[in-house]
Amino acid sequence: MWLALGALAGFAIFGVMVWRAVDVVDAAPADATAQFEEVRTRFGSQPPLLAFDDQGRLVRGETTAPTAPAPIGHLRVLSYRAPTGRLARARVAIWFLKLKGPAAQLVLRDTGLDLAALRLTAADLERAGPAIVLDRKSASGDRLLVWTE
């Protein structure tokens, strides 16, 4: 009985985390752009840790993080799908990413972020400290911005 109650509590906690982690709303292109620029402004001219070259291959940028970067608490994602006008915001605790990486991928499903495809781990993020991880724009107007704080 205690095992069943423990499992039920675990599923309930996970369900609440998933429900609270991602927020999807309708947004006009100008409103979405303003939200992306507000985040980018906080990081100045800092280049992203990851980028894609002209052939679409993933390129890891040079990290200029100090020897002891500031601690981070969350991975944040802002994703805009231009054809549908949907803006998704996600916030995942780094401890959750370390503990339950595959489950974190499930939490981020509505954002279009695939941490496994980017070969990105919580340890990589912690080594970099607060940073822009990825800022990708497509010709169709879609955009994906990932950062840590």
Alpha carbon distance 149, 130 (integer Å)? 5
The reported pLDDT for the residue numbered 63 is 58
The reported pLDDT for the residue numbered 112 is 87
The reported pLDDT for the residue numbered 100 is 81
Alpha carbon distance 72, 145 (integer Å)? 17
Alpha carbon distance 29, 31 (integer Å)? 6
What Cα–Cα distance (Å) separates residue 108 from each residue in 1, 26, 112? 33, 18, 7
Alpha carbon distance 9, 34 (integer Å)? 39
The reported pLDDT for the residue numbered 87 is 97
Which residues of the chain fall below pLDDT 50?
Answer: 12, 16, 18-19
